[in-house]
Amino acid sequence: MKQTRKRRRRILLLADIAYASGKAVASGVIRFVSVHPEIDLLVHGRTSEMPMVHEELIPHSGIDGIVTCFSSHMDFVRGLLEKVPRIPVVFASVPRKMAPLKGRRIATVFCDHAAVADAAAELLVRHGLVEFGYVGSRHAPAAESWDAERGEAFRAALAHRGFRTAVYSPEKDLDADAEQDSLSAWLRALPKPCGLFVSDDMRAMHVLNVCRAGGIAVPEQLQVVGADNEEWICEHTSPTLTSVEPDFEGCGQRAAETLLAMMEGRHFEREAVFGARRVEQRMSTTDMHGSVNRAVRARKWLRDNCGEPFDIAQVAAHLGCSARMLQISYKAVFGKTMREDVLEMRLERAEKLLADTDIPVLRIPERCGSDAPNSFLRLFKARTGMTMLQWRRAKRQHI
């Protein structure tokens, strides 16, 4: 019996392979095609050698299907597809808010930003952090599409774990210098230590540069995680950048598989998603000498015992390290000395005792661990602008 030979298919892949993400999507398509000898693959895309997309080099005839991962060239893509209106198309790794093309056979493979954000959240929580932040993109199209999804997913992942997240969204129409100043002020104001997830690796590189210029220690004060694992960025930042790598290659394979089903008239899913492949840890989250963990444990001990006499050597012995090492770690992580931090804790304790108890004012310094009551009373007035008695009366008038 004569075997029916399958008709060869021609697929056009439009890939932005100037970035590792685009290369990985292309790799997934190529891997799929390599085990389907009945498919011929034509590849056209933007590369570092050819930064512009040249439409005149793209064939418009003899094509049976198209996979495209262009998200920043949508006007170009729409113009091209108008010339081949009957050809099925799969969009790979493009924003959900991309306008659909009416009257076409179209499928889309989206990034599951919730999975990417959850991978970042899990890593930072596993490092023992309790303060978190998210830095969004500077580019409006991204901020209104995938960036918004990624940021909201990170907040949700941490809320599920019982934590809150501070979010930085750049103001519109800020020039580069003003935006850098705004970001720097926001980063300095974050409670430390803090775990920071950044929308993408390029933006994370910018964050690391701002931290270095502003004297914010990474990873001691901020642990920074980017997204997409663009190695040409991540391996050359200072410090090197930890990044979540989405499964771009799996996206490419899924896109090619879906396109083949469309071309053969079989059932296909119009929407599919791909998640996170791995988290590549580098120096921006690596506490090589245990300084973050040491400082956090010391601060917890101080909070639990701030009403007692303060002795750095006692805290260091409790943690099993030298007093000098502990002092260095503490200053690097929290940006203040242990003595400065203990004083703030004691003044906060004084406010709580004044508000919640009837302990005489002159006994408050002693109950806060101070062995210099007059000095403590002066510091309280400098902090609040009122004496302790005035503060207590003012507080109770507002209850």
pLDDT at 46: 63
**pLDDT, tens digit, for every residue of 116-142?**
999 999 999 988 899 999 999 887 666
Q: Is pLDDT at 82 greater than 90 in this prediction?
A: no
Nearest to 93 by CA among 261, 245, 206: 245
Distance CA 67, CA 36 (A): 16
Does residue 2 lie in a domain region? no
Give the range of the structural domain holding residue 237, as residue numbers without chain letter: 113-246+280-285
Q: Indicate whether 3 belongs to any domain.
A: no
pLDDT at 310: 82
Same-domain status, 38 and 97: yes
**Could you tell me the CATH number of the domain that includes residue 240?**
3.40.50.2300
Asked if pLDDT for residue 1 goes beyond 50, the answer is no
In which element (H, E) is residue 106 found? Answer: strand 106-111
Rounded to whole angstroms, how far apart are CA atoms 65 and 83?
Answer: 13
Query: Which of 229, 264, 285 is the C-terminal boundary of a domain?
Result: 285
The pLDDT value recorded for residue 72 is 59
Query: Over pLDDT 90: what percentage of the chain?
Result: 44
Domain boundary among 285, 312, 335: 285
* Last-in-domain residue among 285, 309, 332: 285
Residue 48 has pLDDT above 60, yes or no: no
In a domain, 18, yes or no: yes
Name which residue leads in pLDDT, 226 or 290: 226
**pTM for the whole structure:** 0.73
> Residue 50's pLDDT is what?
47
Tell me the pLDDT band of 100, cut-offs 50, 70 and 90: low
pLDDT of residue 51 exceeding 50: no
Residues 269 and 381 in one domain: no
| 276-302 mean pLDDT | 83
Based on the fold, state whether residues 210 and 356 are members of the same structural domain: no
Instruction: Please give the tally of structural domains in the chain.
Output: 3
Span 349-393, pLDDT tens digits = 999 899 889 999 999 999 999 888 999 999 999 988 889 999 888
Residues contacting 376, CB < 8 A, separation 6+: 346, 350, 364, 365, 368, 370
Same domain, 15 and 129: no
Any domain includes 1 = no
Does residue 387 sit in the same domain as residue 295?
A: yes
Looking at the structure, do residues 33 and 141 belong to the same domain, yes or no? no
Judge if 219 and 258 occupy the same domain: no
262 found inside a domain: yes
Instruction: Return the CATH number at 334.
Output: 1.10.10.60
Asked whether residue 197 falls in the same domain as residue 322, the answer is no
Strands 106-111 and 132-135: unpaired
**CA distance to 19, 118, 121, 283, per residue, from 222 (Å):** 27, 18, 14, 11
